[in-house]
Chains A and B, each alone.
Chain A
Amino acid sequence: MDATETAAVLARARQGDGDAFRALVERHSRSAFRLAFRMTGSEQDAEDVVQEAFLRAYKQLGRFELRANFGTWLYRIVANCSVDLMRAKLSRHDMSRSESLDETVETAEISAHGGAGPERLAESAEIQRRVRDALGALSPLERAAFTLRHYEGRSIEEISATLGLGTSAAKHSVFRAVRKLRVALAPLRSQVS
């Protein structure tokens, strides 16, 4: 689909043409899923995010500037849907751990002294599990900002624009995430190295 064709499809979708919107869904679903999975760390959550993101995009198509890039616009929606979903899950499970560095440290220490030997720790699957746990202990915003910076290679300015944060807030979300990860993974780091 070239630029002219994309613009025509977008214009039709904005007028409520279901077939045109379907073309956009078919074209962008896989990239939306990739980002959603990175952001949430869960296949099922990523599926939910993709669907919610397209529904949200459809509702907001009237606000979409036709000269803009639909993929970039959708990227932002997916990122924000991911944050919303993580917040909703956090709220549902009353997981107050996200904002507490102390609890993160405690969790990491329990995890590190919980009987896993060096041999087992050496297995990458175990490392990945620990990393996933540490990422899961970040607040939704910290995780989103960190994912965009670390996995997606986005600059602080891009993270700021994507998540609708000020530059300083985006930067400090990344800082807090790195700090929590460093503390949470310290035992693992010392045993691996």
Chain B
Amino acid sequence: MSSHYSEDDLTLYYYREGRYASHRERSRSDLSRHLQTCAACAALYHDISSTLALVVADEVPERGDQYGLEVWQRIRHRLPERRSGFGRFAELGRLAGFGAGFSRFFKWDGVALAGAAALLAVAAFIAGRTWQSPGTTPPVAGNLASPGSTINPATRGNPANPSGSDTARSRILLTSVADHLDRSERVLTEIMNTGEPGDISAEQRWAEDLVTASRLYRQDAMDAGEQSVATVLDDLERTLLEIVHSPSKIGAADLEQIRRRVDAAALLFKVRVMSEELRQREAAPDGRSAPRTSTSTVS
């Protein structure tokens, strides 16, 4: 080679990369010979190799055997709720009063899980057939706080007279949905108040987490006959998805489109009102008797 080698070539040669990888003996020996005869390339290579020789790794601070445990302790409370189908089923079972044993049971393998799910479905069917006599109070439509919400009221005792544990479970559900709405409101507010088009990757990550939760809560609300809650959650889910699927470096047009959707659906208003209503119902003595002021009007 009559001309000089480039700095990039010499860097590849130093690291034995690309066309100067160890097994490329021909290329390596050509360059090596050139370095012996070309003072300019030899000087440049000397510069590169002596520079890189100076770059020695700092000693990594020692971390003890318990470090993993420390990390776990720091992050455990920050882990988002994440439930697969069976995990969610187990959680619902726990809420429905089956207790921790039920949850552990649902950590078994897939066959056991599928069998158990089928068994529960049959049990629910039989229970429904047995308990739904003509004189039974019909399920109260639109009552997320009724016993067994998710947890269909029709399959449980008299909704007009919930037991203490049922009320507690209902409150957990109300609190969860209200918290979810509050978190969603914060994301929407961030997006609405973003000063200029820019990086919304943090909001997108947040929204991504909320989408899954929103879907689960919407299904729960539908199961419980809470159509207005489900409708708000459905609107919310669509907007969150739009945020998630927008470019991280969002332009003015995309940002405006999201804002128009939020405005058009009066989504922020609905989310706030719904959250407030659920909080009121949560605070009511029986967990459901607070006036349902605006559920029907916000959706």
A144 in contact (CB, < 8 A) = no
Bound Cα distance from A67 to B52, whole angstroms? 37
Residues of B within 8 A of A27 (CB): 68
1/0 contact trace for A58-77 toward B, CB 8 Å? 11011000000000000000
Given contacts A16-B82, A33-B67, A193-B50, contact A51 B74 (CB under 8 A): yes
Q: A16-B87, A178-B52 are in contact. Are A58 and B80 (CB under 8 A)?
A: yes
List residues of chain A with CB within 8 A of the CB of B50: 189, 193
**Given contacts A41-B58, A131-B55, A192-B54, are A30 and B82 in contact (CB under 8 A)?**
no
Q: Chain B's nearest CB lies how many Å from the CB of A132?
A: 7
Binds B, one of A96-104, A110-118, A150-158: A150-158
Which positions 1-51 of chain A face chain B at CB distance < 8 Å? 12, 14-18, 21-22, 25-30, 33-34, 37-38, 41, 43, 50-51
Does residue B264 face the partner (Cβ distance < 8 Å to A)? no
Q: Across the interface, which residues of B come within 8 angstroms of A131, CB to CB?
A: 54-56
Main secondary structure of the interface of A (DSSP, over half): helix
Cβ-defined contact, B79 with A181, below 8 A: no
Residues of B within 8 A of A150 (CB): 15, 52, 55
Interface size band for A: 35 or more
Give 1 or 0 for each of B1-39: 1 = CB within 8 Å of chain A CB: 000000110011001011000000000000000000000
B179 within 8 Å of A (CB atoms): no
Closest residue of chain B to A183 (Cβ to Cβ) is B51
Whether A22 lies near B52 (C-beta < 8 A) is: no
Q: Provide the main secondary structure of the chain B interface.
A: helix
B55 to chain A: which residues have CB within 8 Å? 131, 134-135, 150, 181, 185
Is B78 in contact with chain A by the CB < 8 A criterion?
yes
Which residues of chain A come closer than 8 Å to B52, judged between CB atoms?
150, 178, 181
- In the bound complex, CA of A185 to CA of B52 (Å): 10
Inter-subunit contact A189/B51 (CB<8 Å):
yes
Residues in A134-193 with C-beta less than 8 Å from chain B: 134-135, 149-151, 155-156, 171, 174-175, 178-179, 181-182, 185-186, 188-189, 192-193
Is B69 an interface position by the 8 A CB rule?
yes
- Complex contact B54–A185 (CB within 8 A): yes
Expressed in whole angstroms, the Cα–Cα distance for A37 and B67 within the complex equals 14
- In the complex the two chains form, is B83's CB within 8 Å of A16's CB? yes
Q: A186, B11: Cβ atoms under 8 Å?
A: no
Most chain-B Cβ atoms within 10 A of its Cβ — which of A38, A175, A188?
A175
CB contact under 8 A between A22 and B87, given known A175-B7, A181-B55: no
Are A37 and B54 in contact, CB atoms less than 8 angstroms apart? Answer: no
Give Cα A38–Cα B68 distance, bound, in whole angstroms: 18
In this assembly, does A105 line the interface, its C-beta being within 8 Å of a C-beta of chain B?
no
Q: Which interface residue of B48, B57, B76, B107 has the most chain A CB atoms within 10 A?
A: B57
Chain A to chain B contacts (Cβ below 8 Å), 10 pairs:
A15-B107, A21-B79, A29-B70, A38-B57, A55-B79, A61-B82, A171-B17, A175-B7, A181-B51, A189-B54
The 7 closest A-B pairs by CB, nearest first: A26-B68, A16-B87, A29-B68, A29-B71, A182-B51, A25-B72, A15-B84
